[in-house]
């Protein structure tokens, strides 16, 4: 897992429309980079809806929200349309950014151990430095917690 005060690894991944988006595209803005396990699951949906509801507040603070999962761009497109998500969703099926940020980890569910994305949020400053690492965040309060930091 990356540490606060270190440079956030740049990446280029396709958005819901298949258009390449890089972290470096957002230099000069705060970036709320959140990694989540899967589109259209209960926790991930609540988390996305909370970020969507606070979208104007993030914009007013010169911050952009970017969600990353290993779902396909097509899955992201359906997810964004279904819940009117106004922020960037990036597809990382090859796990390049997910592994670079250290959020691909062992998870235990019903006594079974699997590998998966651990719900984590990074607050990145205008120069690309990680200001805050929020591990094992709660879907319902994540957006409000990040707003409080801003």
**Domain presence at residue 21:** no
**Domain presence at residue 20:** no
Domain boundaries, position 142: 28-149
Q: pTM for the complete prediction?
A: 0.96
| HEC per residue, 97-126 | HHHHCCCEEEEEECCEEEEEECCEEEEECC
**Domain presence at residue 13:** no
**Domain presence at residue 67:** yes
**Domain presence at residue 16:** no
Query: How many domains, the chain?
Result: 1
β partners of residue 109: 112
Mean pLDDT in residue range 136-140: 94
pLDDT tens for 102-113 read 999 998 888 899
**Domain presence at residue 14:** no
Tell me the Ramachandran region of residue 84: left when phi exceeds 0, alpha when psi lies from -120 to 50, beta otherwise. left
pLDDT tens for 78-119 read 999 999 999 999 999 999 999 999 999 998 888 899 999 999
What residues are annotated to the active site? 44
CATH classification of the domain holding 95? 3.40.30.10
**Domain presence at residue 11:** no
């Amino acid at each position: 897992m990356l540490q606060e005060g270190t440079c956030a690894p740049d990446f280029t991944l396709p958005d819901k429309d298949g258009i390449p988006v890089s972290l470096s595209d957002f230099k000069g803005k705060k970036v709320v980079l959140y990694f989540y396990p899967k589109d259209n699951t209960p926790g991930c949906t609540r988390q996305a809806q909370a970020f969507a509801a606070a979208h104007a507040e993030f914009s007013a603070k010169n911050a952009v929200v970017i969600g990353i999962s290993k779902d396909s761009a097509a899955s992201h497109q359906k997810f964004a349309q279904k819940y009117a998500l106004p922020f960037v969703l990036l597809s990382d099926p090859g796990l390049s950014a997910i592994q670079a940020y250290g959020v691909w980890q062992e998870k235990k569910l019903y006594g079974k151990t699997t590998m998966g994305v651990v719900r984590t949020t990074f607050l990145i400053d205008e120069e690309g430095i990680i200001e805050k690492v929020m591990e094992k965040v709660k879907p319902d309060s994540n957006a409000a917690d990040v707003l409080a930091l801003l």
